[in-house]
């Protein structure tokens, strides 16, 4: 049986636009009648719902993009109130994160779907457990795993992006794309030439974007945007790659 393709969406920092990119990719693939299962292993900074449960807004958004609203607990299984790195949030709340359980969830998804889009919490090197960084934990045991690295536009992003990309490369991770996301109109007006500089260092074939800011963009809007910057086509080329 052919397993699904694992696409890991990570970023240079928290609040960088990972969910924006993941939503767009998920909806674009679903619109092509692909079987897609997004995952948000751990979500922190969650708020309490009326029934007392914690609500993970990212997991809810990903479930909606995949048209899997009833699977939200599977998509986002681990939630914490504390707005911190996963291992810190777990420690503050007297809990531990079971990496074996996370791997089982991922592997079950790969057996059930054509595409599994695993979105991290925070940046690529965020600690998830007491001994695991996300960059190491997410692809472990999956030979065909690829990363999509999301970064912002503006001052400081060149260093953050090059440093994160180097950390991925040193680990032998395959980076499919570096996506520049403009979170605000101020970033869209920025004159730091970060996209051009990143392309000169990493290659124009790797760096794509920008995704322009729109807080009210629908999943279908975001699907069109990831297609317009060539990200969807890059993902679809994975079909021709050896599993």
Q: Which residues are the active-site residues?
A: 40
Give every strand in the sheet of 146-152, ordered side by side: 36-39, 115-119, 5-11, 146-152, 175-181, 207-211
Residue 73's nearest CA partner among 84, 86, 60, 64 is 60
Summary count for the chain: helices (H), strands (E): 11, 10
DSSP assignment of 179-237: EEE--SHHHHT--S-HHHHHHHHH-TTTEEEEE---TT--HHHHHHHHHHTTHHHHHHG
């Amino acid at each position: 049986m052919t397993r699904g393709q694992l696409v890991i969406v990570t970023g240079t920092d928290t609040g960088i636009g990972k969910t924006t990119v993941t939503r767009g990719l998920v909806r674009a693939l679903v619109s092509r009648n692909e079987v897609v299962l997004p995952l948000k292993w751990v979500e922190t900074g969650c708020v309490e719902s009326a029934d007392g449960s914690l609500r993970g807004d990212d997991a809810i958004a990903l479930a909606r993009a995949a048209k899997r609203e009833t699977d939200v607990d599977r998509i986002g299984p681990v939630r914490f109130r504390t707005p911190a790195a996963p291992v810190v949030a777990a420690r503050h709340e007297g809990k531990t994160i079971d990496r074996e359980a996370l791997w089982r969830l991922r592997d079950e998804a790969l057996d059930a779907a054509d595409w599994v889009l695993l979105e991290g919490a925070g940046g690529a090197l965020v600690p998830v457990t007491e001994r695991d960084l996300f960059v190491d934990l997410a692809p472990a045991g999956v030979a065909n795993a690829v990363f999509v690295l999301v970064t912002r536009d503006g001052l400081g992003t060149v260093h953050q992006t090059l440093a994160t990309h180097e950390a991925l490369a040193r680990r032998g991770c395959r980076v499919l794309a570096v996506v520049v996301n403009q979170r605000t109109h101020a970033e869209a007006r920025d004159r730091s030439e970060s996209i051009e500089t990143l392309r000169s260092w990493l290659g124009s074939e790797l760096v794509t974007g920008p995704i322009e800011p729109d807080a009210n963009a629908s999943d279908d809007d975001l699907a069109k945007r990831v297609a317009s910057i060539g990200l969807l086509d890059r993902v679809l080329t994975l079909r021709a790659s050896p599993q």
